[in-house]
Amino acid sequence: MGPIEYMIEAAAIISAIIGHWDDFIIIMLLLIFNVTIDLWQSQKASSALAALKKGMAPKLTPCGMVSTKRSTLPPWCLATSSRSG
């Protein structure tokens, strides 16, 4: 939370202390609305980050897991297969 949220909370407390209940209720409703929007945006950002991380995961096949025929080996395995045999 930033300083503005703290100032708004202080205004709500002061409104309650001096008995301005209408102001207190309005300020508290706005604070609750602000928290709801903040949580929603945070959840959306987390979902977007998870999707980006999932898309960045390497999708390589280990050289030992592919067929031994030279023509079907991925290019990065050709050098290792020629050394071993």
Which of 54, 56, 74, 55 is CA-nearest to residue 64? 74
3-state secondary structure of 33: helix
Note down pLDDT in tens along the chain; length 85 residues.
678 888 889 999 999 999 999 999 999 999 999 889 989 999 998 888 888 887 776 666 666 555 555 556 666 665 554 444 4
Report the alpha-carbon distance of residue 83 to residue 1 in Å, rounded.
Answer: 59
Predicted TM-score (pTM) of the model is: 0.54
Report the alpha-carbon distance of residue 21 to residue 8 in Å, rounded.
Answer: 15
Question: Which residue has tokens 């949580």?
Answer: 39
